[in-house]
Amino acid sequence: MLFFLPAIIVAFFSSILTIKILLPLAPQIGLVDFPSERKRHDGAIPLIGGISIFTGVLIASTLFVQQSQLLNLYLISSALLVFIGTMDDIYDLNVAPRMIFQGLVAAIMVFGGGVYISDFGNLLSYGDINIGSYGMIFTLLACIAAINAFNMIDGIDGLAGSMSIVSISSIAILNLYSDLMNTLLLQLILIVAIIPYLFYNVSTRNPRGKKIFMGDAGSMFMGLTVIWLLSMGTQGEKPSFHAVTALWLIAIPLMDMFSIMIRRIRKGDSPFKADNGHLHHICMRAGLSSRQALWVISSVSIVFALIGIISEIFQFPQWLMLGLFILIFFIYSYLLQHAWRFTKILR
């Protein structure tokens, strides 16, 4: 682990330095978030968290991670996504160009790097399900879904960052358990690069007036990173974990996104229309503060991730884990659809 220390230090301080450089520049280029009916905060908050995380990852991985075409394609894809995310933060782009760009970035990962999900494992207890080259199309859709899932979950301080740390840490634990160390350093770099952002975003020790947000650049970057690591971890000759386990490692962002989209479609709205129906909004309507909602949702996310990790260690049947996940998703979706009843009771 001492070998990892220089990379961790570089990632941490590169991220901090980027924040300090961009803090005075963000208002001048319009990279700030203003309060609105849906976004309740004080003053214009710089949207530089995602750029700082990516910069820390880029510098540390370039210097310390073994170079490969796959790593380069990941960094190029991430840079493109951070760029379009930054443009979205400044100019508030429409859904169509964002989705098109996300698809192009996903295509780099799938077709350029050959990273795609085709083996779903023994989900039905009748043998492994392998869809071959159709996995490319599936992974394109999964990549866009993951990017938007982390983008949608970024609604209160620290939530997207915490969800990212839970997912990436869980993947790292499973890689360690499987004795696959090839991506461990990058995962540690990612986790450490997020920490300075969380300090400026949620810490009570952060100096007043220096708060920052992750922005679309950061949340989309986190979504791409997590789906890339999950694809790497579940496929190949020696996968670290089963494909169904991946669902448990990103359970909250995934279930929240699909539940919200189902609710919006049932109401006749666009599935991408922003509203105040996410889990964090419901927690706050139930009387929790933003920080309390963060702790509750993060704790639930950790529990789901632990279920996934334990299922791998003890080799629970994959069909059982899939069925249990689907059951929890339906319960989650039902509670979200009828949230007004439960928040009224809780209050």
pLDDT digits (tens, 9 = 90+) for 80-96: 999 999 999 999 888 88
CA–CA gap between residue 199 and residue 178 (Å, rounded): 32
Averaged pLDDT of the chain: 89
* Higher-pLDDT residue of 225, 115: 225
Whether residue 20 contacts residue 58, with contact meaning beta carbons closer than 8 Å, is answered with no
Predicted confidence at residue 298, as pLDDT, reads 95
Banded model confidence at residue 154, pLDDT cuts 50, 70, 90: confident
The arithmetic mean of pLDDT across residues 22-38, rounded, is: 83
Assigned token pair, 65: 């991670």
Is the pLDDT at 230 greater than 80? The verdict is yes
Assigned token pair, 286: 């139930």
* Higher-pLDDT residue of 338, 294: 294
Banded model confidence at residue 41, pLDDT cuts 50, 70, 90: low
Sequence-separated (6 or more) residues with CB below 8 Å from residue 155:
278, 280, 281
CA–CA gap between residue 327 and residue 309 (Å, rounded): 19
Banded model confidence at residue 36, pLDDT cuts 50, 70, 90: low
The arithmetic mean of pLDDT across residues 53-58, rounded, is: 97
CA–CA gap between residue 347 and residue 286 (Å, rounded): 6
In tens, the pLDDT along 269-279 reads 778 777 777 88
CA–CA gap between residue 258 and residue 270 (Å, rounded): 13
In tens, the pLDDT along 233-259 reads 999 888 899 999 999 999 999 999 998
Predicted confidence at residue 251, as pLDDT, reads 96
The arithmetic mean of pLDDT across residues 324-332, rounded, is: 95
Is the pLDDT at 310 greater than 60? The verdict is yes
pLDDT > 90: percent of the chain? 65
Banded model confidence at residue 341, pLDDT cuts 50, 70, 90: low
Banded model confidence at residue 7, pLDDT cuts 50, 70, 90: very high
The arithmetic mean of pLDDT across residues 91-119, rounded, is: 91
The arithmetic mean of pLDDT across residues 62-75, rounded, is: 92
Predicted confidence at residue 131, as pLDDT, reads 94
The arithmetic mean of pLDDT across residues 164-180, rounded, is: 92
**Domain chopping of the chain, boundaries:** 2-346
> How many of the other CB atoms lie within 10 Å of CB of 282?
20
Highest mean pLDDT among 24-38, 209-223, 326-340 belongs to 209-223
* Higher-pLDDT residue of 49, 37: 49
Is the pLDDT at 27 greater than 60? The verdict is yes
Least confident of 158-167, 279-288, 313-322: 279-288
Residue 127, SS3?
coil
Sequence-separated (6 or more) residues with CB below 8 Å from residue 143:
102, 105, 106, 109, 110, 224, 227, 228
pLDDT > 70: percent of the chain? 92
Which residue's entry shows tokens 């996940």?
Answer: 325
Query: Which ranges of the chain does DSSP label H, i.e. alpha helix?
Result: 5-22, 26-29, 49-64, 69-91, 95-107, 134-153, 159-177, 184-202, 215-234, 243-249, 251-266, 279-285, 290-313, 318-337, 339-346
In tens, the pLDDT along 197-212 reads 999 998 777 655 689 9
Predicted confidence at residue 76, as pLDDT, reads 95
Which residue's entry shows tokens 């399900």?
Answer: 129
